[in-house]
Structure 1
Amino acid sequence: MKAACAEPTRPAVRSSAAARDKITLPRSRPAAVGTQEAETGDDADAPALPEGFRELAGGSGEPQIPGLTIVYLHPLGSRAEANNWRNIIVHQTEGPAGSAKSMAQAQAQNPTKRGVMLWVETDGTVYWATAETAITTHGDGANRNDNKYIDNSKTYRNVIKTNSIGVEFVGNYPDVAKPATRAQKQAWLVLVRFLQERYGIATENVYAHNWIDFKVNRYCEGCELATLARKLAFQPSKRASGQ
Structure 2
Amino acid sequence: MKISPLFVLTLFSLPIWMYGQNHSALDVQFGGHRSGIILENPLLKDEYIEHNGFHVGLHYQRKIGQRWWLRTGGRFTELSYKTPEKLLRWGTDFDPDTGLPRIDTTRSKVQFFHNHRYIEIPLLARYFFTKTKLGLYAELGFSSSFYLNTRASNIQDGIRISETQKDSNPFHLAGLAALGLNYQFTDQWSLFFQPSIRHDITPTAGKTGDRYSNYFYSYGIDVGGRIALN
User: More relative contact order in 1 or in 2 (CA 8 Å, sep 6+)?
Assistant: 1
Of structures 1 and 2, the larger Rg is shown by 2
Q: Would you call these one fold, judging by a TM-score over 0.5? A: no
Relative to the length of structure 2, the TM-score reads 0.26
